[in-house]
């Protein structure tokens, strides 16, 4: 038990020590710095980890979903999806939920542009789960 702090410096020192001790079991409350993943069309992205996502973010072209991913090299990134790609992402999440799979998951994904039966072009996002469970969390933590 920490004794009562008498100064801000003493408090900050004790706080830092406690955060370091608790690091393995308690979330820090701090956010990772993330870059935007500008995924090109018609290119397969392999070995990415989907950690979490946030839907309903108002943007320039309507609502978006921020998909927080980690690259195979450990870079923290955000993949932004909206429109049909957002629908495809939500369908992927629904499939995971029906199988009882929780995030994080390891995936390969592909963005492409398709043509509808009516001749209109639309963006398509295909996501394939390649691994899930504890081994994914261990691998993610090791990056």
What does the CA dihedral 99, 101, 107, 112 come to, rounded to 10 degrees? 50
Q: How many CA atoms lie within 13 A of 32 on its CB side?
A: 14
Across 34-63, average pLDDT: 92
Query: What pLDDT, on a 0 to 100 scale, did the predictor assign at position 12?
Result: 83
Better-scored residue on pLDDT, 54 or 12: 54
Q: With 60 as the cut, is the pLDDT of residue 30 above it?
A: no
Report which DSSP code applies to 116: -
Q: Whole-prediction pTM value?
A: 0.76
Query: What pLDDT, on a 0 to 100 scale, did the predictor assign at position 5?
Result: 57
Query: What pLDDT, on a 0 to 100 scale, did the predictor assign at position 11?
Result: 82
Residue 23 makes CB contacts below 8 A (sequence gap 6+) with: none
Average pLDDT, the chain: 88
In this structure, which topology does domain 33-142 adopt according to CATH?
OB fold (Dihydrolipoamide Acetyltransferase, E2P) (2.40.50)
């Amino acid at each position: 038990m920490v004794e009562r702090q008498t100064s801000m410096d003493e408090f900050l020192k004790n706080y830092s020590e406690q955060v370091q001790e608790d690091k393995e079991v308690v979330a820090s409350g701090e956010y990772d710095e993330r870059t935007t993943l500008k995924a090109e069309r018609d290119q397969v992205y392999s070995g990415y980890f989907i950690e979490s996502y946030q839907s309903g973010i108002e943007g320039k072209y309507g609502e978006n979903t921020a998909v927080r991913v980690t690259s195979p090299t450990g870079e923290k990134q955000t993949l932004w999806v909206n429109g049909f790609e957002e629908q495809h992402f939500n369908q992927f999440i629904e499939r995971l939920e029906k199988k009882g799979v929780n995030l994080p998951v390891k995936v390969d994904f592909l963005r492409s542009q398709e043509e509808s039966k009516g001749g209109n072009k639309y963006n398509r996002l295909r996501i394939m789960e390649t691994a899930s469970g504890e081994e994914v969390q261990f691998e993610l933590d090791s990056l």
